[in-house]
Amino acid sequence: MSTVDTSSRWKLGKDMISSDTILDSVTFDDLILALKCNCEHITPDAVIVQATEIINQRLEDVKYLIENNIDEIIALASDEPLEDAGHDDITLEE
């Protein structure tokens, strides 16, 4: 089994820019598909549970992106240049 170093992926200044979305949207289609795939009996409670699971997964993704880019976020918020960003200069879009 090989391990992949994901810390070098999804980096602000390399793979993403500061105007990229860190929280993916949740559509009704997402919820409906998840219900069709995961629920034998679709009830009001099942809808709430499935929606909560989708939102929790999105929040885990946000947490990963922030933790993976904490130094870059701090540098940009402090108006410091990003070192080794793969770009000569990254600035916040206003």
Nearest to 13 by CA among 3, 33, 93: 93
Looking at the DSSP bridge assignments, the partners of residue 47 are: none
Q: Let me know: does 12 contact 93? Beta carbons within 8 Å.
A: no
pLDDT tens readout for residues 29-73: 999 999 999 999 999 999 999 999 999 999 999 999 999 999 999
Using CA atoms, how far apart are residues 88 and 71, in angstroms rounded to an integer?
A: 17
| CA 41 to chain CA centroid, nearest Å | 30
Q: Let me know: does 42 contact 35? Beta carbons within 8 Å.
A: yes
Q: By three-state DSSP, how is residue 16 classified?
A: strand
Average pLDDT score, the chain: 86
pTM exceeds 0.85 for this model:
no
